[in-house]
Amino acid sequence: MGGMEFNKVFAAILVAGIVAMLSGFVAEKLSHPHKLKENAFPIEGVEVAGGGKIEKLAEPILAMLATADLERGQKLSKACAACHSFDKGGANGVGPNLYNIVGAQKQSHAGYKYSGALNAQGINEWNYVALNKFLWKPKKYAPGTKMSYAGLKKPEDRAAMVAWLRTLADSPKALPGALEIAAEQAELAPPSAEQEELEDAIETVKEGVQDAKADAEIKQLENDVEKTKADIETKKAIKKQTMEDAKKTVKDALEKSKDTH
């Protein structure tokens, strides 16, 4: 192998080593994307990374509706009666008449002037989920609403209220099915402490494994580079030795030919 060619090979090996090292570095960066400080799309009540406080949500009530205490609902309606009538064709007061409210379009009762704030939540129907959230904290659910009422704090009270409201209709709306109940639970039930701990633990282990993998890969690449370097040194030494041997042989041959002449 000529000197020039040897240098080329050496350079090629060096470049290959550097590329391998760089790709390890890039892989490391890719497998450890930096985490967002907040959810890109904040979800109400979901903890933000970095230890934000869990916001309280209305407790789910759909599962309670089928067996809710209707009498209790009727009793609770006395707190609403200052502003609402509940009978069919009843007059609007401070608030609109509430006959047939479950499943009705929001802000649709004839002859009542609404604030417009009730429609701001995306859903335009008083379904069970919307009623639960609204009756929990009206002003939180619909900022700007005209309804000056603090809300029903206890989930059993809201379940009783909504179950009773449901009966105020010519044909009451169907009770929620299993899917609706599950969806509401998924949306509103706070994650249990154990669940959160478990998820944290899994996350930590995952990160540890990734780190270990990346470290091992880098170590391997470093070893490869060291080995290549050592090979090159050996080859250089052999080459040097061979050159010296050859020189010596030539020299010896020259001496010999001098002697014989």
Give the interface with ligand HEC as residue ranges (CB under 6 A).
Answer: 79-80, 82-84, 94-96, 98, 101, 106-107, 109, 114-115, 117-118, 126, 135, 145-149, 152, 161
Nearer to ligand HEC, 117 or 181 (CB): 117
Nearer to ligand HEC, 120 or 243 (CB): 120
Nearer to ligand HEC, 161 or 181 (CB): 161
CB of 54 to ligand HEC, least distance (A): 26
CB of 55 to ligand HEC, least distance (A): 23
Q: What is the b/e burial string over 127-160, where b = at least 16 CB atoms within 10 angstroms of the residue's CB?
A: bbbbbbbbbbbbeebbeebebebebbeebebbbb
Looking from the CA of 55 toward its CB, the CA atoms found within 13 Å total 11
Distance from C-alpha of 30 to C-alpha of 210, rounded to nearest angstrom: 11
Nearer to ligand HEC, 60 or 166 (CB): 166
Beta partners for residue 105, in sequence order: 125
Give the amino acid at 32: H
CB of 163 to ligand HEC, least distance (A): 12
Q: Look-up: residue for tokens 């080459």?
A: 239
CB of 150 to ligand HEC, least distance (A): 9
CB of 71 to ligand HEC, least distance (A): 15
What region, left, alpha or beta, does residue 172 occupy, with left being phi > 0 and alpha being psi -120 to 50 degrees?
beta
- State the DSSP string of 136-166: H-HHHHSTT-S-------SHHHHHHHHHHHH
Q: Distance from CA of residue 206 to its chain's centroid?
A: 16
Of the candidates 181, 141, 169, 174, which has an alpha carbon nearest to the alpha carbon of residue 61?
181
CB of 87 to ligand HEC, least distance (A): 14
CB of 168 to ligand HEC, least distance (A): 11
Kindly give, in sequence order, each residue whose CB lies less than 8 Å from that of residue 114, ignoring residues fewer than 6 positions away.
Answer: 96, 107, 146
CB of 167 to ligand HEC, least distance (A): 13
Kindly give, in sequence order, each residue whose CB lies less than 8 Å from that of residue 48, ignoring residues fewer than 6 positions away.
Answer: 37, 38, 39, 42
Nearer to ligand HEC, 74 or 107 (CB): 107
Nearer to ligand HEC, 92 or 228 (CB): 92
Nearer to ligand HEC, 135 or 181 (CB): 135
Nearer to ligand HEC, 113 or 261 (CB): 113
